[in-house]
Amino acid sequence: MTKIKTLEGRSKAVDDEVVDALAGAIRGEVFREGSAGYDEARTIWNAMVDRRPGLVVRALGASDVRHAVDFARDNGLLMAIRSGGHQIAGHAVADGALLLDLSKMKSVHVDPGARTARVEPGATLGDVDKETQAHALAVPVGVNSTTGIAGLTLGGGFGWITRKHGMTIDNLVSADLVTADGEFVRASKAENADLFWAIRGGGGNFGVVTSFEFQLHPVGPEVLSGLIVHSLDDAPALLRDFRKIADEAEDDLTVWAVLRQAPPLPFLPEEWHGKDVLVFAACYAGDIADAEKAMAPLRALGNPIADVIAPHPFQGWQAAFDPLLTPGMRNYWKSHDFETLSDAAIKIILDAVRNVPDPACEVFIAHVGGAMARVASDATAYPQRSSHFIMNVHTRWEDASKDGACIAWARKLFDAAAPHSVGSVYVNFMPDDEAGRIPGAYGANMDRLAKVKAKYDPKNLFRLNHNIEPAALARAAE
């Protein structure tokens, strides 16, 4: 017998023959607790999430996905979906649930003539960049190469070239899904347009995506990019200058601010290691010659400790933050959207950074806007197009005894900054305990999302996510 949790939260004993029949029907594998592969499948990026699923189904193709979805639905089982396993909330794995593991479905196929890529959900951003950059092409994705393309895309997706080429979802041409009733469907502007609208920001609520098709753009292979490191003592004036530069920047230029204790980077003088610093991370998506001119005002600011802006391979730059964002640490993140970075918000952030509970904690301030902001807020499920900055409080630490202090630090900063924010939030940056922010994440698009959910998943089979309840269920609960 294998015990698996039901949708109602009960434990159901499933006969071995039933599980064996599932294993025999798929190309992939089935892992019970204790079998090889079980621990790898349940281990995700955020070490705070240490959960033991009842059964793992490792899919190798869309047919396997359909078998798993049918199995979960027909037996009334709670199902978690794992692709890159990077989501901070850890919805990819749940105690007792059926875990559908897509992490080995990693193929990326580029059509250089059409400038499109077909990507399976288990691909990481690094996998996507490797194949697309072989043709000096790229789709806008995030800034950490080990992140999964699937969760990132379904929540929205933004990074170094978003201001020029839009969010990841703005470059999604189509997606193939297995729906809750086990149907294979394609979502695009021409087919199932309501579903296509909903999956561009609505997360894993509507079905299991087995393939994404992206529009690509010429990028690189080298881009002017790099870090400029300053003392945090100079940050009040520098962040005001950063605000102005960001406000006036052309779409090719993206500058993020990172505030933290300096890691022992080889280009930093040793006496700065461990000291509070402000780092500008900058990337220019277009020609190097234009880039030098566009970055000059940023490089002229203050008295930097180090400036390592130079032409870098785009693929390498996309992984530049990987050493700071390694898997296996405990993580609790908090995020706000800002229209502008007010002086008051700057002061609050600086006060917090001077009092981090662990040297691994940091605050990222992402500069967005540009092409991302020129899409109507109801054109995709992701609504928050007008924000100019997205603050992400990366609270990271290793020792579980620090959980309380670290979580409290993040919440305190989050609460203090709230009056200066828009109130919305990027769903991919929400921790597990923020279910109350889901309406804020979707704003005016919430009702429409609930209706699409009711059409494609009326019984809420796909509920281990930042959940959008089907319209009818939500009404019944009122």
Q: Which residues bind ligand FAD (CB under 6 A)?
A: 44-45, 81-88, 91-92, 102, 121, 142-144, 147-148, 150-152, 154-159, 203-204, 208-209, 325, 428, 464-465
> How far apart are CB 159 and ligand FAD at their closest, in Å?
5
Q: Which residues, other chains included, contact 79 with Cβ-Cβ below 8 Å and sequence gap of 6+? A: 68, 69, 72, 97, 98, 99, 100, 461, 462, 464
> How far apart are CB 401 and ligand FAD at their closest, in Å?
23
Encode the chain in three state secondary structure: CEEEEECCCCEEEECHHHHHHHHHHCCCEEEECCCCCHHHHHCCCCCCCCCCCCEEEECCCHHHHHHHHHHHHHCCECEEEECCCCCCCCCCCCCCCEEEECCCCCCEEEECCCCEEEECCCCEHHHHHHHHHCCCEECCCCCCCCCEHHHHHHHCCCCCCHHHHCCCHHHEEEEEEECCCCCEEEEECCCCHHHHHHHCCCHHHCCEEEEEEEECEECCCEEEEEEEEEEHHHHHHHHHHHHHHHHHCCCCEEEEEEEEECCCCCCCCHHHCCCEEEEEEEEECCCHHHHHHHHHHHHCCCCCCEECCEEEEHHHHCCCCHHHCCCCCEEEEEEEEECCCCHHHHHHHHHHHCCCCCCCCEEEEEECCHHHHHCCCCCCCCCCCCCCEEEEEEEEECCHHHHHHHHHHHHHHHHHHHHHCCCCCCHHHCCCCCHHHHHHHHHHHHHHHHHHHHHHCCCCCCCCCCCCCCHHHHHHHC
Output 84 or 226, the one with its CB closest to ligand FAD.
Answer: 84
Output 26 or 209, the one with its CB closest to ligand FAD.
Answer: 209
Output 43 or 342, the one with its CB closest to ligand FAD.
Answer: 43
Output 160 or 304, the one with its CB closest to ligand FAD.
Answer: 160
> How far apart are CB 117 and ligand FAD at their closest, in Å?
16
Output 61 or 159, the one with its CB closest to ligand FAD.
Answer: 159
* Residue 107: count of CB within 10 angstroms of its CB: 13
Output 195 or 309, the one with its CB closest to ligand FAD.
Answer: 195
Output 131 or 362, the one with its CB closest to ligand FAD.
Answer: 362
> How far apart are CB 302 and ligand FAD at their closest, in Å?
26
> How far apart are CB 20 and ligand FAD at their closest, in Å?
26
> How far apart are CB 428 and ligand FAD at their closest, in Å?
4
Cα–Cα distance list, 17 to 22, 58, 76, 286 (Å): 9, 18, 18, 58
Output 208 or 305, the one with its CB closest to ligand FAD.
Answer: 208
Output 46 or 304, the one with its CB closest to ligand FAD.
Answer: 46
Output 28 or 121, the one with its CB closest to ligand FAD.
Answer: 121
> How far apart are CB 97 and ligand FAD at their closest, in Å?
11
> How far apart are CB 429 and ligand FAD at their closest, in Å?
6
> How far apart are CB 124 and ligand FAD at their closest, in Å?
8
> How far apart are CB 311 and ligand FAD at their closest, in Å?
22
